[in-house]
Amino acid sequence: MHFRNFSIAVAAGALALPLVAQADGLTLYGEVHLSADIAHDGDRRSEFLASRGSLLGITGSEYLGAGLTGLFQYETEVHLTAGGDGLFGAGENAFVGLDGAFGTVLAGHMEDPLFVAIDDLQMFVDRVGDAHLFGATPGNNEFQENVLVYLSPELNGFSLTAMYGPRQGTARGDLWVAHGQFDGELGDGNLYAGLSYLQANQGRVDELFDLSPGDEGFGEWKHKLYQLALGYERPDVWRGFAFYQCYQSTDVAPLEDDRVFGVGVGVLARPDVELLAQVTRYDADASRSDSTLYAVGADYFITDRTTLYAAYAMSRNQRNADRLPTEPDYYGADDESRGVNVAQGDNAWAVSLGVKHAF
């Protein structure tokens, strides 16, 4: 139970996991995450086995001299259940980089800092009730492809992350992300505060919203987002977080002036049991299109690497909203008949019993 900064989460996150294999500077790592779920879409109930964020990765580094270290990481999603396109799925964090006194420079396919900040704070990562179910709108809070990232050195708990995605062709717009944070001791605990800004320009927005020549907004819209994330932890006692996302400066009509915000808390009932609660709100600019996501759960830490958990989540939708408390597709395949759908105005819920093991 801890908060990580962006540089640790991306550049060296694998090194923080227990080592299962290491040779010649290479480290093999991963996470197995499986849950048994019951989901109700307001009309029908179904049962699922879900592979939730299971992954396999390899990372390495080599000292190059002159105070410079070369880095690389390959990471892939793993399908533990029967669906998807085989055992391995979409690529996760993958990069090559250089580390020195100036900071760290990475190039590849990586989570953006907005995504990382929320994942490091929220209570239901890759579970039912995940805050990203409401916050992961197209273009932000997700993996970004073909990007360059600069991670500054830490100074008294303060650090800066900058991400740039080039145009990648005349029809594709560029992407800019800036993220500043403080992560350090305050009183008897640890305080995290992060402020982020993301802008995706015209060509990239066309691709995100599947716009074609002649469509409204083609070649004109820009996607802009501000995010504030706060977290505080008293080790072995409790932790809490809050976040706020604002689209008020966006030119993208599908998002208008939408906002997403949420709060969560975790309390240790005993050294091996943590009780969790979280609320996420989607405040839409469009009339009667708001949704609220409630989640409660408990973690049982069997060992330092293995966690058993139970969770319940419910989404309450206004008349024109149809947001879910869980991923709509449990199988990794584009087949709505195998997932969960909810009609506009209906409420949906999901119960989940899961296990996570890091190696």
How does residue 341 score in pLDDT terms, banded at 50, 70 and 90?
confident
Given a contact cutoff of 8 angstroms between Cβ atoms, the answer to whether 139 and 198 are in contact is yes
For residue 128, being part of any structural domain is answered with: yes
Closest Cα to residue 264, out of 113, 127, 124? 124
145 versus 57: which is more confidently predicted?
57
With a cut of 80, say whether residue 251 has pLDDT above it: no
The per-residue pLDDT for 248 is 61
The domain tally of the chain equals 1
Q: Does residue 1 lie in a domain region?
A: no
Angle at 231 between CA 229 and CA 236, to 5 degrees: 160
**Res. 119 pLDDT band, cuts 50 70 90:** very high
The tokens describing 30, both together, are: 């991963």
Structural domain for 146, as ranges: 6-358
Instruction: Determine the Cα–Cα distance for residues 13 and 193; give it in Å rounded to an integer.
Output: 20
Instruction: Confirm whether 125 is domain-assigned.
Output: yes
* Model pLDDT, residue 339: 73
Name the pTM for this structure. 0.86
In whole numbers, what is the pLDDT of the chain averaged over residues? 85
**Residue 140: which CATH number?**
2.40.160.10
Note the pLDDT of residue 135.
77
Looking at the domain assignment, is residue 251 inside a domain? yes
Run of H or E including 126: none
